[in-house]
Amino acid sequence: MIADFRNAKKIVIKIGSSLLVADGKLREKWLQNFAKNVSQLMKKKVEVVIVTSGAIALGKSFLQRDLTKKLSLEEKQAAAAIGQIQLMSFYRDFFKKLKIDVAQILLTAADCNSRERYENSRNTIETLLRNGIIPIINENDSVAVDEIKIGDNDQLAARVAQMTNSELLILFSDIDGLYSKNPRIYKNAQIIPEVKRITLEIENMAGGAVSMVGTGGMITKIKAAKMAAAAGCNTIVTNGTLENALQELFLGEKKFTIFRSEKKSTKILKARRSWLSGLLNIKGELIVNECTREAMACRRISLLAIGVIGVCGDFEKGSAVFIRDEAGNHIATGIVNYGAADVQKILEKNSVEVKKILGSDAKPDVVRIDNLIVV
């Protein structure tokens, strides 16, 4: 099994609700052992950032006795507000016994997407790490609504890995890794120990959005691995349900799938491109023709109106959008020069036509080269 990840000196670890909470109560023994495992890594001069779920799961029991009942948005927000205090108290107490201090950071999609807030968040995390304090990060569920939610902590963890220039992202799940097909249905399913490049075939193996843990599933972990790879960070997906899962991973006693960052991404991206590569909760999309897709894959270019053949979503000038080819593949992310209504007017138009439609000062590029990153 490939084990060079053991040399990583900065690691982001994501813990899902199902690992931390069972029947509305914390799995105290699991967290106690996890804290010891993290302590062992820190003694080897490894910097650790934790991205955690669990606030809603812990707070839910304060609002209702029937834990199977689905919560409304307002109830989720209230549960998060209650549970976050409980969650951080547990983290603080278990790490305090090991003479390690922790700090809480709550983020929203807006914090991750705004360049200024992104930089501020990164500076806070780096300052904590320099002082030997573990940053413990969660989405700010008590204020987030569906329109601005990150959606799952797998992608939040990948965003944090980008922020901190981490070398390794560990996504603990309730399954050993990525399988060739669903192992819960097919007995002959084979685990894939290494993925060198995330292709459409690899994404299809995730089986869509069928949830395996928490709010995500394997497909969210694939998306997270793709984000991390863009910043030169490897990602491991492995089963974290058993006690001492982190220790067993580093001792080579666990199955896992490692998603490699591509060779072209091994050097840390410049700050702006790293920020662009992990924008979250994007609603708008641009569809480009085949010639444009090929050109974008071969060289750095602006996205011109003449190459855009479709618009999805309602976005404004300055919004972040995904750029897809005609087959639906996500090929780039960028910040648009025009709102959706104006882009719709200039689809497949050349520079002269764009000026006639939008005015003499209008630019032919829908996304400027400095605001575009091919993924």
Helices (H) and strands (E) in the chain, counts: 14, 17
For residue 3, the tally of other CB atoms under 10 A from its CB is: 11
Q: What is the mean pLDDT of the chain?
A: 86
Residue 268 pLDDT greater than 90, yes or no: no
The b-or-e profile of 225-242 (16+ CB within 10 A means b, else e) is bbbbbbbbbbbbbbbbee
Residue 209 pLDDT greater than 80, yes or no: no
Amino acid 264: pLDDT = 47
Residue 207 pLDDT greater than 80, yes or no: no
The pLDDT > 70 percentage for the chain reads 89
The 10s digit of each residue's pLDDT in 28-84 is 999 999 999 999 999 999 999 999 999 988 988 888 666 677 888 888 888 889 999
CA distance 364 to 295: 16
Amino acid 147: pLDDT = 46
Nearest alpha carbon to residue 153 among 112, 192, 121, 201: 112
Amino acid 262: pLDDT = 65
Amino acid 272: pLDDT = 64
Instruction: Set out the domains of the chain in order of their start, with CATH numbers.
Output: 4-273 (3.40.1160.10), 282-374 (2.30.130.10)
Nearest alpha carbon to residue 336 among 287, 361, 303: 303
The 10s digit of each residue's pLDDT in 340-372 is 999 999 999 999 999 999 998 888 899 988 788
Amino acid 373: pLDDT = 83
